[in-house]
Amino acid sequence: AMAQDKFKIGLILPMTGPFASTGKQIEAAARLYIAQNGDMVAGKKVELIVKDDTSAADVTKRLAQEMVVNEKVSVLAGFGLTPLAFATAPIATQSKTPMVVMAAATSAITQASPFIVRTSFTLPQAAVAIADWAPNNGIKKVVTLVSDYGPGIDAEKFFKDRLLFNGGQVLDSLRVPMRNPDFAPFLQKVRDLKPDAVYVFVPSGAGAALMKQFAERGMDKAGIKLIGTGDITDDDILNSMGDVANGVVTSHHYSASHNSALNKKFVAAFEKANNGLRPNFMAVGGYDGMRVIYEAAKASKGAGGEALLDAMKGQVFESPRGPMFIDAQTRDVVHNIYIRKVEKVGGQLFNQEFATIKDVKDPGKSR
């Protein structure tokens, strides 16, 4: 087919390095979406171009530039970490190319370019929900422990403000390096402060190391609970965490055990296509991002640029996570946030949803 007969999607992801699980989940989800929905859209052949940015922001930006200039992609997509999305935003703006953020979750990302649309989530959405749950469930004194970059700082701030508003107390706020974190000295500090709970944000993939050290330091035996956003009990690795994860309560927009016909179908198809790999919230961000791209391409009849962008705004649909929409003003995702507890189901650990906060907009946007 000739160039103009193709609809190219430039998918830039960390496929190697410490955040490779994010890339693997999103690529698998995008390929599943294409397998289920066909590789023709608006009369054009869909071409998915996947590039590994190794989670280095300068590489993400260079790859995006090449995709726009050389490949003439209609849309940029992926963005496994906040700094990678921020680095690429000027390319989207300058080239008028829609940029679908499928993973990164710092609130301010959508404000970095009018061409950004987000299908992942925001940390403030998740953080506020668990800060409402905690004080009603015996957790009044908390130490926060977050990865020291955008989403961690959002997770800390929005949790803290809401917990204080609800009459709780934050005894200390600890930040650990984002790359190669050693949690031990921070967990020791938490132990010494004797809070009711430690509230944690670490990016997808880092939760297992935190859990292991939490158990090794006997935090649970010292009576300190672990709570957090759902990034910590990430479905990609939850089942390998062992008993320490059992009973942990988190807030998030997606669980692989979400009880809907659509999700059951999604999980079964994803596992079948990927040697039994369980989809996590990254996979769902990628799958829904493809949905937004396909439907926008159809509605704008294969046009790119602003027409494609406009057709992404305001989309309302059922996701494997539950109902969601793209807020037309903010271009950010609106969806339910669920409170979940890790439980054993059929011998496997799952995040079992037990309460729902409906249609949550990003609390970061109203400030």
Which residue ranges make up the site for ligand DHB (CB under 6 A)? 22, 81-82, 103-106, 150-151, 203-204, 231
Q: How far is CA 190 from CA 139, 144, 255, in A?
A: 15, 9, 28
Output the smallest distance, CB 352 to ligand DHB, in A.
Answer: 20
Determine the 3-state secondary structure of 347 from DSSP: coil
d(CA 115, CA 85): 12
- Kindly state the smallest distance separating residue 148's Cβ from ligand DHB, in Å: 12
Token representation of residue 129: 């929900």
Nearest-approach distance from CB 243 to ligand DHB, in angstroms? 23
Closest CB to ligand DHB among residues 132, 231? 231
- Is 105:120 a contact under the CB 8 Å cutoff? yes
Spatial neighbors of 191 by CB under 8 A, at least 6 apart, are 217, 219, 222, 224
Q: Closest CB to ligand DHB among 205 and 320? A: 205
Structural tokens at position 284: 């769902």
Residue with tokens 């809907």: 260
Between residues 22 and 125, which has the closer beta carbon with respect to ligand DHB? Answer: 22
Q: What is the CA radius of gyration of the chain?
A: 20
Q: How far apart are CA 232 and CA 205, in angstroms?
A: 8
Distance of CA 153 to the CA centre of its chain: 15
Question: By beta-carbon distance, which residue lies closest to ligand DHB?
Answer: 203
Comparison of 152 and 304: residue with beta carbon closer to ligand DHB: 152
Closest to 117 in 3D by CA, of 78, 153, 80: 78
> If we measure between CA atoms, which residue out of 238, 199, 206 comes closest to residue 80?
206
The secondary structure of residue 293, as a DSSP letter, is H
Task: Give CA torsion, residues 340, 342, 345, 347, to 10 deg.
Answer: 160
Pick 78 or 150: Cβ nearer ligand DHB? 150
CB of 22 to ligand DHB, least distance (A): 6
Based on CB atoms, which residue is closest to ligand DHB, 124 or 168?
A: 124
Between 18 and 305, whose beta carbon lies closer to ligand DHB?
Answer: 18
Q: How far is the CB of 104 from ligand DHB (least distance, A)?
A: 4
Q: Are 355 and 249 in contact (CB under 8 A)?
A: no
Q: What is the DSSP letter of 222?
A: T
The DSSP code for 277 is P
> Taking the complex as a whole, how short is the minimal distance between the CB of residue 356 and ligand DHB, in angstroms?
21
- In this complex, which beta carbon is closest to ligand DHB, that of residue 74 or of residue 120? 120
In angstroms, give the least distance from the CB of 145 to ligand DHB: 15
CB of 254 to ligand DHB, least distance (A): 11
